[in-house]
């Protein structure tokens, strides 16, 4: 069983400015909880029990969110606000560990993952979840991350989660080149490579990598030897390409829906989707939407 996941949260969140100037972008809320909590919940539902946050000195709010706040809990208990108290205590299940390591310099995603090496080790597989992408599993019997973990355990090959995007948007993404037929939703296929932001006429498919990876611990020595690439940063994709050539890498085609909360419109869409079905606020939110739609 794959039990560990790495969440790189050390970035400055420049796409979310000015909202992320004073608070981490991962702490911007969708309805009633921060984006990072949805991502941690996704990992926990897939069976992950050790969450490794690769963080920065300016991101202490994230660590505090997942820590116990004894004074607040005591106040809620004294005021008999049991429902709120239960919500706070459920942020991190009792059998889940939140572990923080620091990325002291912004040297790229590959370097951020490498910072987790002392916790993960070179012999154990793990997941990587980019925390500004929400993967919605509404209506699914299990989430896509769980499917990726199972595929890794069955094949021993790294898994990249991919999503079909409109052909006119392929220039915005890393696009995979499948070996043979593209996989159907909920399945994986071997990769011939990944092309970064290709022109539409040069794209090998319209399947985009969307920020979920399952990797072997053996990627850490590769990352340690990977020279800086684009942007003078250590790129995770460069190490994955080395891994592909050596051992093979698969693309797992997701069944759910993604929301890019590092972009303002993606954040607004996620707020609409999660707000409409919220167990407490959903009905009132739908009424608000209907009211403003009629007013327009």
β-partners of residue 159 are: 214, 250
d(CA 154, CA 69): 41
What tens digit of pLDDT does each residue of 38-92 get?
999 999 999 999 999 999 988 999 999 999 999 999 999 999 999 999 999 999 9
**Which residues, 6+ apart, have CB-to-CB distance to 287 below 8 Å?**
none
With vertex at residue 199, the alpha carbon angle to CA 193 and CA 205, rounded to the nearest 5 degrees, is 45
- Work out the mean pLDDT of the chain and round it to a whole number: 92
Q: How far is CA 222 from CA 3, 31, 193, 292, in A?
A: 22, 40, 17, 53
**Which residues, 6+ apart, have CB-to-CB distance to 92 below 8 Å?**
40, 66, 98
Short-list 16, 7, 10, 18, CA closest to 266? 16
What tens digit of pLDDT does each residue of 244-287 get?
999 999 999 999 999 999 888 999 999 999 999 999 999 999 99
The per-residue pLDDT for 271 is 96
* Residue 198, phi then psi, degrees to nearest 5: -75, 155
The per-residue pLDDT for 180 is 86
* Residue 7, phi then psi, degrees to nearest 5: -120, 105
167: helix, strand or coil: helix
Q: What is the DSSP letter of 261?
A: T
In 10 A of CB 154, how many CB atoms? 9
Percent of the chain having pLDDT more than 70? 99
**Which residues, 6+ apart, have CB-to-CB distance to 113 below 8 Å?**
6, 8, 54, 128, 215, 219, 223, 236
Short-list 172, 207, 170, CA closest to 188? 207
Q: Which helix (H) or strand (E) segment is 136 a member of?
A: strand 133-136
β-partners of residue 196 are: 174
Q: Are 187 and 172 in contact (CB under 8 A)?
A: no
d(CA 86, CA 121): 35
The per-residue pLDDT for 230 is 72
């Amino acid at each position: 069983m794959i039990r560990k996941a790495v969440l790189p949260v050390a970035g400055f969140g420049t796409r979310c400015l000015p909202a992320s100037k004073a608070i981490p972008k991962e702490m911007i809320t969708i309805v009633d909880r921060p984006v990072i909590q949805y991502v941690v919940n996704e990992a926990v539902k897939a069976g992950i029990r050790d969450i490794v946050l690769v963080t920065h000195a300016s991101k202490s709010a994230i660590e505090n969110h997942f820590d116990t706040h004894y004074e607040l809990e005591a106040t809620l208990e004294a005021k008999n606000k049991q429902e709120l108290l239960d919500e706070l205590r459920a942020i991190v299940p009792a059998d889940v560990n939140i572990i923080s390591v620091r990325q002291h310099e912004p040297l790229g995603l590959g370097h951020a993952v490498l910072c987790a090496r002392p916790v993960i080790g070179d012999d154990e597989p793990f997941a990587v979840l980019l925390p500004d992408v929400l993967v919605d599993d509404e209506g699914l019997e299990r989430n896509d991350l769980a499917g990726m973990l199972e595929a890794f355990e069955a094949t021993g090959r790294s898994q990249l989660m991919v999503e079909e995007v409109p052909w006119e948007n392929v220039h915005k993404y890393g696009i995979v080149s499948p070996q043979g037929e593209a996989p159907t939703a909920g399945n994986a296929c071997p990769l011939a490579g990944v092309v970064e932001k290709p022109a539409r006429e040069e794209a090998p498919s319209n399947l985009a990598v969307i920020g979920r990876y399952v990797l072997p611990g053996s990627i850490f020595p590769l990352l340690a030897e990977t020279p800086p690439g684009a942007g003078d940063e250590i790129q995770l994709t460069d190490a994955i390409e080395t891994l592909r050539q050596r051992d093979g890498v698969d693309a797992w085609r997701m069944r759910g829906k993604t929301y890019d909360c590092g972009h303002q419109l993606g954040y607004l869409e996620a707020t609409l989707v999660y707000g409409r079905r919220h167990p407490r606020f959903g009905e009132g939110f739908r009424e608000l939407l209907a009211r403003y739609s009629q007013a327009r």
